[in-house]
Structure 1
């Protein structure tokens, strides 16, 4: 299988449900009431519950995994731009922007709510190596 090269893109979609948020809270141990408590979250600047930021970042990881070759994360810079709410569908996009030498590539990463606002942007540095069968 080939490796990722400049210009390659991949996308992934994830619908965030109440169950997804509850499961992420259990897996991560992050029980911040802005994610888990309707009454508490209603009184915040967001006016209701929002998903964990890193839950949305998982859609970026899924997009990276769909690039050619085996992808191994080395680093990820993220800017959280808007909240994701229960019921939103997040679409993430990864585009290989630069070959850094050897197996390393720089990938531009973004995630948007479908038909809505950008929720994340940033860049990743990953290894892209041939997939061994």
Structure 2
């Protein structure tokens, strides 16, 4: 199987529902009421429930997994730019921008809802050949 190289791109998307947010809270243990309590969230600057930032960032992880080869996450710098709300669809795009030597690659990462970026950053990954063994 080939490995990822500079110029490779991949994407993933995820529809976010109230159930998605509830399930993410259960799995992550992050039970912040801004995510789970509609009445509480309505009184905040966001005016309603919002998804966990890491839920949106997890769509980036799904996109990275679609790059060629076996991809192993080493690090990720993230900027959370806008909230994701129930009913939104998060679309993540990743692009390999630099070889860092060995099997390490720098990857530009972006997650958007419509035309608005919600999460941006850069990841470092290992791209390994899969020998099928």
When normalised by structure 2's length, the TM-score is 0.98
**Secondary structure class of the residue paired with 1:50:** coil
1:95 has 2:95 as partner: yes
- The alignment yields a C-alpha RMSD, in angstroms, of 0.6
Q: Matches of 1:89 and 1:111 in 2, distance apart?
A: 10
| Pairwise CA distance, 1:45 | 0.4
Q: State how many pairs are aligned.
A: 132
**Secondary structure class of the residue paired with 1:121:** strand
Aligned to 1:18: 18
Q: Matches of 1:96 and 1:110 in 2, distance apart?
A: 12
| Pairwise CA distance, 1:117 | 1.2
| Pairwise CA distance, 1:131 | 1.5
CA offsets 1:43-98 (integer angstroms, 9 cap, x no match) = 00001000000000010000000000000010000000000000100000000000
Structure 1: runs of 5+ lacking an equivalent: none
Aligned to 1:128: 127
When normalised by structure 1's length, the TM-score is 0.98
Aligned to 2:58: 58
